[in-house]
Structures are given as structure tokens and as C-alpha cells.
């Protein structure tokens, strides 16, 4: 099979964290979420563990509950961080925090919240190899899910702030104790489908060949 390289590169390079351009009024069918999850679970997992679980929240009351927890964790932190970035003249980061505050203010209106989870929690003081194996067995799938959404005209943002209140969220969602939440992805159709590459440092400045 020959991939369309230009199209593939465009997908990889322009799948952004979408917040302000999520369409809060257009419903998202469960089928499209399941279709993207089917692709997501083709991602690799450590020891082929496949311990991923996905909690998909489209009930308005449940979304409102999650949004309350998210705001409790996010609002003060994001405002302060945004002001600090502005004081430094870091406009890209200032924009990110402005956009993140917008998401916090509107989260309950985003049509679907997807919470990727893992079966199994790390012990306290888990060594780096264990943590890498654990989180490395879910984030590749999360990113594939985000790419699959983008290819279908939907957008998302990987967020972790609600995890400050992980236990409260677990209670709200009825999660068993051994299930670990790793993120919350607000999902909706995007207003427009054109997204740009972000500014990143040239890889030659952050790549080390053979030794640091």
C-alpha cells in the first residue's frame, strides 16, 4: 500500500489541541466515537497488556459534574500561569492558557468527554521503568484516537487537570478502585477543518546522535 504522504504528514502535523473551535451545538454520534476507538486500540501496549478502558460520557449531568471538578482544579492555576506567560512576553503560551481557560468555562457544553483509563494502578514510588510501561500503554492509543477524530472532522484536547480530583471523578463515574484515569478528552466537531502547524524548535537543536 502506498500512503498519501502529504495527507498523512498534514494529519500528523496539524492535529492540535482544539478548545475554542469545538462546535458545542453539533451532536456527536456514539458510532463515530466507537469507530475512532477501534483505531485507537491498534496502538501498542507494554507486554501486549491491552489494559485500556474507555469511559465515554455524553450524559449532560455527568459532563456538568466533571466540568465542576475540572474548574476547581483549573481556573486559578490557568489564570496565574497565563499572567506569568504574558509578563515574560511569551505570547504562544499566553494564548494556550487563554484557550485553556475558555475550555474550563465551557467544558460541560462539549458534546462528549472521553476518559481513557487503565486497569491497574502503580504502587507508590513506582520506578521509572514501571511508570513508562504503564502510561506508555495508553498514551499512544489516546493520540491515535485524536488523529482518527481529526481525520473525521472532529477535534479534541488532551487534558489532565481533572485528575487533581481523581477520586471525586472516580466516584461520579462509578469506577472500581483498581481503575486509573489518565486524562479527559473533550470531543466535538470542529468549526472549520483547517489547522496549522505549531511553532516547534528545529529538531536538530534537540536531537543527540550516539551520546548527549
The footprint of ligand FMN (CB under 6 A) covers 16-17, 96, 100, 103, 157-161, 198
- Which residue, 12 or 198, has its beta carbon nearer to ligand FMN? 198
- Which residue, 159 or 212, has its beta carbon nearer to ligand FMN? 159
Question: How far apart are the C-alpha atoms of 190 and 17, rounded to whole Å?
Answer: 11
212 burial class (0-12, 13-18, 19+ CB within 10 angstroms)?
exposed
Shortest separation between residue 103's beta carbon and ligand FMN, angstroms: 5
β partners of residue 187: 112, 156
- Which residue, 33 or 184, has its beta carbon nearer to ligand FMN? 184
- Which residue, 24 or 29, has its beta carbon nearer to ligand FMN? 24
Question: How far apart are the C-alpha atoms of 93 and 7, rounded to whole Å?
Answer: 28
Shortest separation between residue 210's beta carbon and ligand FMN, angstroms: 28
The set of cell numbers assigned to 85 is: 506567560
H-run or E-run covering 57:
strand 52-57
3-state percent breakdown (helix, strand, coil) of the chain, nearest 5: 50, 15, 35
Shortest separation between residue 88's beta carbon and ligand FMN, angstroms: 16
- Which residue, 30 or 167, has its beta carbon nearer to ligand FMN? 167
Question: How far apart are the C-alpha atoms of 52 and 117, rounded to whole Å?
Answer: 6
Nearest 10 degrees: Cα torsion 135, 63, 113, 160 = -30
Shortest separation between residue 189's beta carbon and ligand FMN, angstroms: 17
- Which residue, 89 or 176, has its beta carbon nearer to ligand FMN? 89
Question: How far apart are the C-alpha atoms of 106 and 110, rounded to whole Å?
Answer: 7
Q: How far apart are the first and last CA of the chain?
A: 37
Amino acid at each position: 500500500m502506498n500512503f498519501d504522504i502529504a495527507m498523512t504528514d498534514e494529519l500528523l502535523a496539524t492535529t492540535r489541541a482544539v478548545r475554542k473551535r469545538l462546535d458545542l451545538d453539533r451532536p456527536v454520534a456514539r458510532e463515530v466515537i466507537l469507530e475512532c476507538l477501534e483505531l485507537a486500540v491498534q496502538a501498542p501496549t507494554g507486554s501486549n497488556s491491552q489494559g485500556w478502558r474507555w469511559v465515554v460520557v455524553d450524559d449532560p449531568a455527568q459532563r456538568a459534574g466533571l466540568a465542576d471538578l475540572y474548574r476547581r482544579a483549573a481556573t486559578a492555576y490557568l489564570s496565574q500561569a497565563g499572567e506569568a506567560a504574558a509578563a515574560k512576553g511569551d505570547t504562544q503560551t499566553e494564548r494556550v492558557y487563554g484557550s485553556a481557560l475558555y475550555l474550563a468555562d465551557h467544558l460541560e457544553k462539549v458534546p462528549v468527554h472521553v476518559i481513557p483509563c487503565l486497569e491497574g494502578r502503580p504502587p507508590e514510588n513506582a520506578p521509572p521503568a514501571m511508570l513508562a510501561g504503564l502510561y506508555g500503554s495508553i498514551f499512544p492509543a489516546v493520540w491515535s484516537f485524536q488523529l482518527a477524530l481529526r481525520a473525521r472532522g472532529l477535534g479534541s484536547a488532551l487534558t489532565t487537570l481533572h485528575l487533581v480530583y481523581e477520586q471525586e471523578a472516580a466516584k461520579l463515574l462509578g469506577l472500581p478502585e483498581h481503575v486509573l484515569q489518565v486524562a479527559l478528552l473533550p470531543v466535538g466537531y470542529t468549526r472549520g477543518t483547517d489547522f496549522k502547524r505549531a511553532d516547534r524548535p528545529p529538531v536538530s537543536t534537540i536531537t543527540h546522535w550516539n551520546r548527549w
